[in-house]
Amino acid sequence: MEANILHADLDAFYASVEQLLDPALRGKPIAVGGGVVLAASYEAKAFGVRGGMPGRRARELCPGLIFVGGHFKDYQRLGDAAIQVLGDFTPVVERISIDEAFADVTGCTHLFGPPAEIAGTIRRRVRAELGLSISVGVARTKHLAKIASQVAKPDGLVVVDPHHELEFLHDLPVELMWGVGPVTRERLAGIGVNTIGELAKINGGSLERLLGPAAGEKLNALAWNRDPRKLETQRRARSAGAQSALGRKPAEAEIFVPALLHLADRVATRLRAKSRPGRTVTVRVRFADLRSVTRSITLDQPISATAMLAEIAEALVRKVLVDHPHEKTISLLAIAVSHLEKQPGLQLELPLGLDDDRRRPGTTKGAARWTADRAIDKIRDRFGWEAVGYASVALGPQRSVPDAFRELAEKEL
């Protein structure tokens, strides 16, 4: 019954780094990005500017908004340094993104004092050593610690008393919960559920019918702070994915085919780098009204060839568009590969002349694709990502989100 789990989250991280690097930007509304807002300072958020928002809309909301390009190497350097501060207090640290992590201080209180004191010291050190503010939540469970850090923002500390957890939790808005995005929030609001306490009172069966069995059961448990998860210090991604916000583009092949090839290139390159091909390919298509549709397929053999992944993803996207003939505009595309396997080499197959030889990694055609990709990987390792690639990607639509920004969000395979 002790609150020994900390969740530390750097405040408006990317924008705060830009203000740190350029003092002239401090106190001013800034946004990282251009065509799309990648991150916004608190001064910009006060006008309603949010990450993922089109740049034009952001400028309408905040006429004095200053856009900056982004210093991605500095984001990585400072994010690593902040997480290292947590590691100075406990070896039990689970990093979940570039700018946030959990820490379990159960075995460290005899050295550094109570959890609240440790959290306060972490905040002071990050401020003094890095010049950045960090908010920390302290609670008995991971879910509650993360919520507490959100309540603490900006630049605050919230400690949840184990004897008053539900009193703290049930008055908060439901969108603070893990797994409640805009779509889920709207569905819950449709049945009159706006707070976590109101969610907790909903019959489990009704919640599962509304959100699906898995999501309904999970949210019901979290609403009562039932979260048995332990920290995973050696956490590795169970899947590899990438997504691209397109704005509002026509649902036509000349738009989605190059975009899918670019996404496949990013995902497959990561899979090959770690020798972890995957068997399940999933695509997500978001339409103009922000409604998303997913389709997936599980293959007989794991794949990591770029062109192979792109063709499978393209077939899945075409199926989505056939199933939704009235949708004429796409705003986002995503590819994910799961059921990853450790496979240092390529398992060859007998030349049976099957119709899908090009999509089978061990066939003559499949092996040739994989070999070509490995050659591209070697060139990029030596001369950089832009040194070589697929022509249709280079000639395709201009991407509004830099690849360097995407890389910051990619988990270790």
Which residues participate in the annotated binding site for Mg(2+)?
9, 99
Q: Which two tokens stand for residue 40?
A: 């916004």
- Name the residue among 138, 131, 123, 117 with its Cα closest to residue 86: 123
Order of all β-strands in the sheet with 278-287:
239-250, 329-340, 278-287, 292-303
Catalytic residue among 18, 43, 94, 100: 100
Distance CA 327, CA 83 (A): 44
Amino acid type, 331: S
Q: Which two tokens stand for residue 160?
A: 């949840």
129 has catalytic annotation: no
Residue 90 in contact with residue 107, Cβ under 8 Å?
Answer: yes
Sign of CA dihedral 181, 183, 188, 193: positive
Residue 284 in contact with residue 334, Cβ under 8 Å?
Answer: yes
The count of C-alpha atoms lying within 13 angstroms of the C-alpha of 208, restricted to the half-sphere facing its C-beta, is 8
Annotated binding site: 9, 99
Residue 180 in contact with residue 199, Cβ under 8 Å?
Answer: no
Q: Which two tokens stand for residue 111?
A: 């050295």
Distance CA 388, CA 230 (A): 43
Distance CA 135, CA 154 (A): 6
Could you write out the DSSP letters of every residue in 111-169? HH-SHHHHHHHHHHHHHHHHS--EEEEEESSHHHHHHHHHHH-SS-EEE--GGGHHHHH
Question: Which amino acids are annotated catalytic?
Answer: 100
